[in-house]
Structure 1
Amino acid sequence: MYKALDEKNQLDWVLWKPFFSGSEAYSTYIWPGLQNTLKAAAMAMIIALPLGAVLGIARLSDHVWVRVPAAVVVEFFRAIPVLVLMIFGLALYAQYTNVNSDDRPLYAVVTGLALYNASVLAEIVRAGILSLPKGQGEAAMAIGLRKGQVMRLILLPQAVTAMLPAIVSQLVVIVKDTALGGAVLTFPELLASANTMSGYYGANTIASFTVVAAIYWIINFSLTSFAGWLEGRLRRRKKSTGAVLGAQDVADIAGTAATGAGGTGGGVDLSGPFVGGGGQRGVHKD
């Protein structure tokens, strides 16, 4: 690989110099393209995350008139390539809306990414909720919570931790798939800026695309690192902090209660079993 690149003069310093001396390449080409990439990805995430959650929960509904339409929507958009959705979106915005021609590529990219990734996220949400033990929902129903409350207060918060890695992986896919809009719909995102930049700096194709690939890697690695940190934090918060009293602790409490509470009618009964198990005796209020 090195020999082939060297023979084509792709390793010459003159081709790499624009990225290491001065900021023209970044301010003129890379930064505007990166802004459009992050803008489209952020808009698609904002739409896809809640829409995917709603569709995923709807697929678990006991009502057929809710479950079946949600399943049809999810399976339909999940089966169509995201690029096809973008192309259809561009045609629909041009034919039936008054969206400016300069903004249509952005709208089409966001629409395609939102619909496709919402359907994928819906399956992630559904799988995450179904992975929880059935006893969680049954216990919540037993204390009088309604189905909506069980889902909102019990099941969904627990499933979030389990779903987080898969959700972030899908967010990474959203960031990368914005490049499809630049390749087909002339959306001026980060990858499209590399083509223009390469032509301006004397066909430094390898250098331009290497820098762009490094930027994509930094963005996506930051997302996955943040997800790992957040998942660990959520798991630590859910750990129990309760302590189990040992036999000596119970004896100490019994002695204190017997000597310090004399004449008050209080006492300690060590006849009952300790709920913690292990053959220990428990403290009971007389």
Structure 2
Amino acid sequence: MSTLLYDEPGPVTRARLRSWSVVALLVIGLAVGLVCWRLWGQGQFEEDLWAPFLDEPALRTGLVGGLVGTLQAAAMAMALALVVGFAVAVARLSPSRVVQAAGATFVWFFRGPPLLILILFFFLAFPMAFDIDITPFWALVLGLMLYNGAVLAEVIRAGVLALPRGQEEAAVALGMRRGTTLRYVLLPQAVRNMLPAVISQMVILVKDTSLGFVVSYGELLRYGNTAIQVLDNPIQMYLVVALIFIAINMSLSRVAHALEKNPVASGLRRRRTVAESR
């Protein structure tokens, strides 16, 4: 049996893939074992280095506080970035060349520089230029919003342009305006297709909240760095912080998978599209 792009692997190819998978797992296991053996030889598995995570309530309270700070900044930046992304994507899809140029300029300007520069701009340069005080929280959120909003705008635009041309032509034939066509015909269909890319960008956004330490924002990594100065256990602390970030991002991925496979949401989108096209 074949698909559009490739033939399904035969018995020989499947056996070869299984063999290479076993070899890869053995190599990875050997590498992990070697690292653990080296850490064991250096005393990194000593109980004193891991005990504070169980015995020190202040440490757990601080990690929870840092986690809350990370989630607050990420949630606010996500919401604002989605709004900005949709607005800029609509501008990029506008029939007006002036509006298209404005959207393209926004994407070019805010997607180009490193995110760290945007955060430092809002924390240092913006207050000096406009005499407006900005807290570390908002300096981080505004930087994340503009950078990720520019990236999401291109994701959303690509999702709409990937739809069959006949969708827009049918809407125009029914007398729909451009804005109505985007709102009720193109965007509802494009959302499901671009959801994995949007969630991937949200995962990147969550990890980028760790840049808040440069403006002294109380996020998870900054608290971890502070605790290391007292406990002198950098490997253990960074491992715990990394595991927390992994748990957050896995949760986001599961939410995206559930939304993508949700038959109720999919049915609502299909019914709305059919109803509007009649």
How far apart, CA to CA, are the structure 1 residues paired with 2:94 and 2:177? 13
**Structure 1, gaps ≥5 residues long:** 242-286
Partner of 1:140: 171
**What percentage of aligned pairs have identical amino acids?**
42
State the secondary structure of the residue aligned to 2:262: helix
Partner of 2:205: 174
1:224 aligns with 2:253: yes
Match of 2:99 among 61, 66, 69: 66
Match of 2:228 among 186, 192, 198: 198
Please state which structure has a larger fraction of its residues in helix. Answer: 2
Query: Which residue identity lines up with residue 60 of structure 1 in the other structure?
Result: L
Number of matched residues? Answer: 235
The Cα offsets for residues 23-79 of structure 1, whole Å up to 9 and x where unpaired, read as 43211x201111111111111111110110110111111101110111011111111
1:117 aligns with 2:148: yes
Q: TM-score, normalised by structure 2?
A: 0.80
State the secondary structure of the residue aligned to 1:188: coil
- Give the drift of 1:238: 6.4
**Structure 2, gaps ≥5 residues long:** 1-34, 272-278
Matches within 5 A, 1:1-286: 1-21=35-55, 23-27=57-61, 29-95=62-128, 96-99=130-133, 103=135, 105-182=136-213, 184-201=214-231, 203-233=232-262, 236-237=266-267
Computed over aligned residues only, the root mean square deviation of the Cα atoms, in angstroms, reads 1.8
- Give the drift of 1:156: 0.5
How far apart, CA to CA, are the structure 2 residues paired with 1:2 and 1:229? 36
- Give the drift of 1:239: 9.4
* 2:73 and 2:141 in contact (8 A); partners too: yes
Runs of 4+ in structure 1 off by over 6 angstroms are 238-241
- Give the drift of 1:159: 0.4
Distance 1:187 1:240, change over 3 A: closer
Q: TM-score, normalised by structure 1?
A: 0.78
